[in-house]
């Protein structure tokens, strides 16, 4: 490694950058110099779009990693990645888990290929994440997949430690269990600090320092993984019911030491309720209607259903009830990829608001439960449903941050410093951050009106309060208007600007009447119309074209934030 406090990082299977956020939150020394994100079998590369929007295009690869030559990947100090786990995910039954031999499990061998082909230039350190089931898969040969991974890394000269960590056990806002793997070359600074495997696993190692635990009595497992990788694949733990791997352990020179860990933590704890936004900022589409509520209650409830198998056998399918609504004073349940969309579902989160209404979670709230920055996945080309999918595939950044801190301190023997730490305090009234649009050169949205039009009740409508000194301007019958919001830092960030289509001015003591089409949404300032004001603070500017008016003014419960995001159909019905 270089003498400067720089740890060059390559991020594989990068998703939307969870490893990068966590590591940069741990120390400014972590510098991601190259990253790869490719989602097979899909034309729209949502995660890649988000990654580039947040971190830039430099060093980003949106190609199938199978087709990327190792020579195209720069030399680095730390290789990280949450390699795909679909074949043995908790979303599938164990009996159907294809394991490391499944379609996506083979991507593990791309990690191996890169490490192997780097030769004496392979990274000193590795850091991976996968589902907790990894140590038990596949169902027919418990622990075989993990044994292959550990043995192949040991053969490349790495000492490897692992922990299965539930983020909520250490105060984080989501119950998400994942396997974390950290390795270091035998000639590395970190490896020189290890003396005894048992002490390293339970007290002295990176994982033990980052996430304290107590070993469960009677769970010690110590053994060697023998034979070639092919022999390990064919014979490891064959015909045995249980995996020999505990949820904490390490391997050195093919010798394994592992135990089961009970977490030890007495610090602050985050909850689902502590990461929600104010009800007044929630777009109407996320609320569950009275008509649909019984469908959600059914999906969440206990049930027994008579079914017939393909072979014609009758059986009873049963499942227990789930909390409905979700508990606000506890960490959330695990976010899954199917979290988005309006269809009732057993697994989607539903919360009850102070007003008594039920609603789904916003993308910004799902981001918070994974400890991402607010609106990290916001992108004009990425839908709310896909944003939820991306969070279902993501990791909890706080876990990476904590491990990253101790990896740094073990390397440099000093405490890490970061200018981008992950903060746990969340604002219930998140406002627009123009930093999201620093690289955006075009207007946010342009709608070209037609001479003849048909109102689309499913389109989003923004209702904005008109200040007293502008009421006369908006009461005049003119074909075009311009509406300036207050300063952007007071504009709710839960309003998806790329979805806005219609606008209605709200006149105090009258309500709404006139309907406009939003032709352009852009950034402007008060100085555009009042040069003498010298007010250059950025504001949202909506260039409007008049469409029609309601028969009379309608009073609406406009929030104290001056804006209401709703659907046109809810107003004109």
pLDDT tens digits, residue range 444-478?
A: 554 554 457 889 998 999 999 998 888 999 998 88
- Asked which of 39-43, 51-55, 172-176, 410-414 is least confident by mean pLDDT, the reply is 39-43
Q: 283: helix, coil or strand?
A: coil
Size (the chain), residues? 573
Cα end-to-end span (Å), the chain: 66
pLDDT value at position 307? 85
Q: How confident is the model at residue 343 (pLDDT cuts 50, 70, 90)?
A: very high
Q: With residue 198 as reference, give the H or E element that holds it.
A: helix 197-199
348: left (phi over 0), alpha (psi -120 to 50) or beta: beta
For 187-229, how does the pLDDT look when each residue is reduced to its tens digit (9 = 90+)?
A: 999 999 999 999 999 999 999 999 999 999 999 999 999 999 9
Handedness of CA 450, 471, 473, 527 (dihedral sign): negative
Q: Residue 442 has what pLDDT?
A: 53
Q: Given 73, 85, 201, 422, which residue is catalytic?
A: 85
Q: Please state, in angstroms and rounded to a whole number, the distance separating the CA atoms of residues 198 and 249.
A: 9
Beta bridge partners of 49: none
pLDDT at 531: 79
Which tens digits make up the pLDDT trace of 514-530?
999 999 999 888 888 77
Cα–Cα distances (Å) from 92 to 96, 137, 175, 386, in that order, read 7, 12, 18, 20
Per-residue pLDDT at 287 = 96
**Model confidence at 173: pLDDT above 90:** yes
The first and second tokens of residue 499, run together, are 């979805």
Structure-derived torsion over alpha carbons of residues 507, 510, 515, 521, reported in degrees to the nearest 10: 20
As to burial, measured by CB atoms within 10 angstroms (0-12 exposed, 13-18 middle, 19+ buried), residue 492 is: buried
Contact 150, 159 (CB under 8 A): no
Residue of 368, 367, 369, 362 lying closest to 385 (CA atoms): 362
DSSP 258-283: EE-EEE---S----SGGGPPPGGGS-
Can you give the pLDDT at residue 100?
Answer: 59
DSSP class of residue 204?
A: I
Residue 283 has pLDDT above 70, yes or no: yes
Distance CA 109, CA 106 (A): 6
Q: What are φ and ψ of residue 90, in 5° steps?
A: -65, -15
Pairing, β 460-465 against β 500-507: parallel
Going by the DSSP 8-state scheme, the letter that residue 568 receives in this structure is H
Site of tokens 């490893």: 19
* Distance from C-alpha of 207 to C-alpha of 179, rounded to nearest angstrom: 11
Confidence bin at 85 (pLDDT 50/70/90): low
Q: Directed axis angle between helix 108-118 and helix 144-155, to 10°?
A: 10
Sort strands 30-36 and 125-131 into parallel, antiparallel or unpaired: unpaired
Active site residue 85: yes
Residue 187 has a CB neighbour count (10 Å cut-off) of 9
- The mean pLDDT value for 108-127 works out to 95
Measured between alpha carbons, how far is 238 from 244 in angstroms, rounded to an integer?
11
Q: List the single range of 49-53, 115-119, 451-455, 510-514 with lowest mean pLDDT.
A: 451-455
At 46, is the pLDDT very low, low, confident or very high (cuts 50, 70, 90)?
Answer: very high
75-91 per-residue burial string, b: 16 or more CB within 10 A, e: under 16: ebbbbbbbbbbbbbbee
pLDDT at 280 over 70: yes
**Cα(564)–Cα(559) distance, rounded to whole angstroms?**
7
Residue whose tokens read 């469908």: 295
| pLDDT value, residue 545 | 93
To the nearest 10°, the Cα dihedral for 153, 179, 335, 399?
-100
Check residue 102 and give its pLDDT.
53
79 and 34 Cβ atoms separated by less than 8 Å: no
**Could you tell me whether strands 7-12 and 78-81 are parallel, antiparallel, or unpaired per DSSP bridges?**
parallel
Cβ contact 340:46 at 8 Å:
no
**Distance, CA of 240 to chain centre:** 36
Read off the pLDDT band of 386 (50, 70, 90).
Answer: very high
Please tell me the pTM assigned to this model.
Answer: 0.86
Report helix, strand or coil for 258. Answer: strand
Instruction: Quote the pLDDT of residue 96.
Output: 52
Alpha carbons 525 and 531: distance in angstroms, whole number: 10
How many other CB atoms sit within 10 Å of the CB of residue 507?
18
Give dist(CA 45, CA 63) in Å, integer: 10
Per-chain mean pLDDT for the chain: 90
Burial class (CB in 10 A: 0-12, 13-18, 19+), 120: exposed
Instruction: Enumerate long-range contacts of 214-220, CB under 8 Å, 24 or more apart.
Output: 214/261, 214/262, 214/264, 215/248, 215/259, 215/260, 215/261, 215/262, 216/259, 216/260, 216/261, 216/262, 219/246, 219/259, 219/260, 220/246, 220/257, 220/258, 220/259
pLDDT at 346 over 60: yes
């Amino acid at each position: 490694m270089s003498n400067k406090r720089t740890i060059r990082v390559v991020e594989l299977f990068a998703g939307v950058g969870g490893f990068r956020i966590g590591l940069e939150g741990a120390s400014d020394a972590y510098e991601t110099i190259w990253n790869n994100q490719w989602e097979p079998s899909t034309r729209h590369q949502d995660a890649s779009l988000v990654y580039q929007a947040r971190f830039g295009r430099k060093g980003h690869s949106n190609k199938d990693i199978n087709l990327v030559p190792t020579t195209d990947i720069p030399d680095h100090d730390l290789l990280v990645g949450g390699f795909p786990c679909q074949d043995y995910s908790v979303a599938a039954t164990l009996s159907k888990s294809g394991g490391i031999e499944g379609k996506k499990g083979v991507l593990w061998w791309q990690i191996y290929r890169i490490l192997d082909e780097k030769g004496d230039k392979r990274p000193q350190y590795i850091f991976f994440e996968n589902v907790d089931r990894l140590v038990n898969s596949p169902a027919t040969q418990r622990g075989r997949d993990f044994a292959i991974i550990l043995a192949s890394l040991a053969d490349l000269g790495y000492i490897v430690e692992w922990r299965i960590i539930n983020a909520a056990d250490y105060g984080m806002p989501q119950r998400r269990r994942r396997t974390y793997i950290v390795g270091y070359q035998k000639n590395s600074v970190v490896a020189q600090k290890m003396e005894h495997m048992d002490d390293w696993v339970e007290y002295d190692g990176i994982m033990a320092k980052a996430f304290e635990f107590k070993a469960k009595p009677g769970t010690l497992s110590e053994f060697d993984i023998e034979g070639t990788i092919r022999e390990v694949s064919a014979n490891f733990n064959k015909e045995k019911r249980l995996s020999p791997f505990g949820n904490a352990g390490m391997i050195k020179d093919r010798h394994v030491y592992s135990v089961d860990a009970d977490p030890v933590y007495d610090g602050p704890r985050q909850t689902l309720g502590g990461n929600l936004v104010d009800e007044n900022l929630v777009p109407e589409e996320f609320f569950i209607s009275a008509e649909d509520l019984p469908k959600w209650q059914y999906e969440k409830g206990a049930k027994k259903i008579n079914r017939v198998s393909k072979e014609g056998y009758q059986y009873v399918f049963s499942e227990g009830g789930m909390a409905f609504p979700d508990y606000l004073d506890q960490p959330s349940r695990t976010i899954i990829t199917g979290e988005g969309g309006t269809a009732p579902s057993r697994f989607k989160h539903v919360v009850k608001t102070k007003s008594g209404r039920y609603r789904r979670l916003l993308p910004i709230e799902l981001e918070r439960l994974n400890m991402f920055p607010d609106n990290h996945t916001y992108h004009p080309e990425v839908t709310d449903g896909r944003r939820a999918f991306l969070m279902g595939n993501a990791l909890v950044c706080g876990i990476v941050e904590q491990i990253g801190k101790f990896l740094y301190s073990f390397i440099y023997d000093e405490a890490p410093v970061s200018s981008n730490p992950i903060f746990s305090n969340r604002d219930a009234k998140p406002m627009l951050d123009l930093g999201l649009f620093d690289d955006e050169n075009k207007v946010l949205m342009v709608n070209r009106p037609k001479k003849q039009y048909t109102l689309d009740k499913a389109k989003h409508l923004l209702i904005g309060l008109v200040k007293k000194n502008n009421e006369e301007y908006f009461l005049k019958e003119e074909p075009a208007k311009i509406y300036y919001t207050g300063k952007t830092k007071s504009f709710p960030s839960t309003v998806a600007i790329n979805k806005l289509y219609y606008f209605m001015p709200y006149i105090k003591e009258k309500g709404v009447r006139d309907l406009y089409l939003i032709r352009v949404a852009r950034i402007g300032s008060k100085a555009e119309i009042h040069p003498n004001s010298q007010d250059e603070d950025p504001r949202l500017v909506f260039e409007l074209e008049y469409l029609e008016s309601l028969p009379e003014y309608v009073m609406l419960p406009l929030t104290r934030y001056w804006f209401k995001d709703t659907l046109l159909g809810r107003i004109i019905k």
